[in-house]
Amino acid sequence: MSLVRAAGGGREPILVTGVGFVTPLGGTAAGLDAALATGRCALAARPLEIEGLGASLVPVAACADFDDEAAPRGPSGVLPDRGTAMALHAARQAFADAGLAPGAADPHRVGVYWGCGMGGAASFDQATQALYGEGRRLRPTTVLTTMPNAAVAELSMAFQARGASISYACACASSAVAVGEAMRAIRGGWIDLALVGGHEALLTPGVMAGWQAMRVLAPVSGGGAQGACRPFAADRAGFALGEGAAALVIESAAHARRRRAPARVALAGYGTSCDAQHISQPASEGQVRAMRLALADAGLAAADIGHVNSHGTATAAGDAAEAASLCEVFGAHGVPVSATKSLHGHLMGAGGAVELVCALRALERQCLPPAAGVAEPDPAFGIDLVCGSTARRVPGLRHVLSNSFAFGGTNAVLVASRLD
């Protein structure tokens, strides 16, 4: 078919040599694995009180253990936005995991490709609250900490990435696009190694109210938010706002070989497309195209994929479109599907990277996380959703696929493979 020919088929895999993250399910591989294995749900109901709007509850998935004020600052010395602090933390972990001291690679051949959805919107929300509400002036560093590339700037200084420093803002696909574009840059020979990923921390009143106004958040009561996000269920009612960051060090096989860096998994394929139809309604055609492009890029057939971590937002329109797309590409009940937003919330710009990390953990452990709170998927969807409270063992799992579909119509799909 034409898409396969266009993509050439089976490009060089890019090795994943380091991973780090801050998520509502924890910041260590062991913690994340345990949460994914048991379907631990990090969702909670947070009170939102804004004068003139009345009180309400918002479903959130916060990184309760992450103290941004205690976290070390970035190289600029400027007090960072919470999301930027998370990005720095995840990236330091990833570099340590990769066994790569700052400066160990040729700085001109290292790039940062990073995603965020709304940049420093939460910091700006707080700053303007102080400005308008309390008559307090803005800090001299307000612009520098709220611009969408604030984190990328800190990251490139921290790790001496002089080859590229690019921030991608395509809503919920931002960090998946960042990962994919870095793969292309490495394959194209522009750089050897990249720090990729994304961050988002939007849990301030103004930003939460913005999401609430879109009517895409799951309703929650005083009883809490456990199981409030039910992707692909017939009674699905929306998602929870998550926060966090995930970072990966990826590099060409030749570069990893030269520095004797061990790697167990590789990024095999990337596909991106745009619906170009509607600013918020997804279109199955664009999603199908992105998945097929990613498969072609990896040189794989749909039947080779043993697991999909879906975009799975639990919105009425979003899940319907994605279920149709999955059936089109993989056939009805053709591949086991997870929907980890039910556990860690919707991390917006960080979602693609965090969900890729979940898919990599599944690949490593041969174990697929369940969508907690979902007894069964809507039978009309025809998808094999891993649900309930126990993970599904899948011995022999070799290739996984992660979907990210954004407001604005951007679709990004990543395929990862085991190297053994």
Residue 358 annotated as catalytic: no
Sole window of 69-77, 184-192, 195-203, 226-234 interacting with another protein (rule: CB under 8 A): 69-77
Smaller CB distance to another protein: residue 77 or 396?
Answer: 77
Smaller CB distance to another protein: residue 5 or 137?
Answer: 137
Please report which helix (H) or strand (E) contains residue 401, including its range. Answer: strand 399-405
Smaller CB distance to another protein: residue 4 or 131?
Answer: 131
Residue 211 near residue 241 (C-beta atoms within 8 A): yes
Contact between 140 and another protein by CB under 8 A: the answer reads yes
Smaller CB distance to another protein: residue 76 or 160?
Answer: 76
In the set 255, 346, 358, 387, the catalytic residue is 346
Residue 172 annotated as catalytic: yes
In the set 41, 116, 172, 387, the catalytic residue is 172
- For residue 166, what are the contacts with CB-CB under 8 A and spacing of at least 6? 111, 112, 113, 114, 149, 152, 178, 181
Q: Which position among 6, 34, 136, 376 is part of the footprint of another protein (CB under 8 A)? A: 136
Contact between 129 and another protein by CB under 8 A: the answer reads no
Tokens 């993989």 sit at which residue? Answer: 330
Tokens 């001291």 sit at which residue? Answer: 101
Please, what is the minimum distance in Å from the beta carbon of residue 121 to another protein? 21
Alpha helices of 309-384 — where are they, by DSSP H? 316-330, 341-344, 351-365
Sole window of 3-11, 35-43, 139-147, 307-315 interacting with another protein (rule: CB under 8 A): 139-147
* CA-closest candidate to residue 358, choices 239, 261, 226, 248: 248
Contact between 157 and another protein by CB under 8 A: the answer reads no
Contact between 258 and another protein by CB under 8 A: the answer reads no
Q: Which position among 38, 128, 141, 226 is part of the footprint of another protein (CB under 8 A)? A: 141
Residue 278 annotated as catalytic: no
Beta strands in 134-292 (DSSP E): 164-168, 193-200, 241-242, 244-251, 265-274
Residue 246 near residue 198 (C-beta atoms within 8 A): yes
Contact between 166 and another protein by CB under 8 A: the answer reads no
Contact between 78 and another protein by CB under 8 A: the answer reads yes
* CA-closest candidate to residue 272, choices 177, 168, 144: 177
275-281 — which CB contacts under 8 Å span 24+ positions?
A: 275/409, 275/411, 276/409, 277/409, 278/409, 279/407, 279/408, 279/409, 280/214, 280/407, 281/317, 281/321
Contact between 139 and another protein by CB under 8 A: the answer reads yes
Please, what is the minimum distance in Å from the beta carbon of residue 130 to another protein? 10
Residue 86 near residue 147 (C-beta atoms within 8 A): no
The residues annotated with a catalytic role in the active site are 172, 311, 346
- Which residues of the shown chain bind another protein in the complex (CB under 8 A)? 73, 76-79, 135-137, 139-141, 144
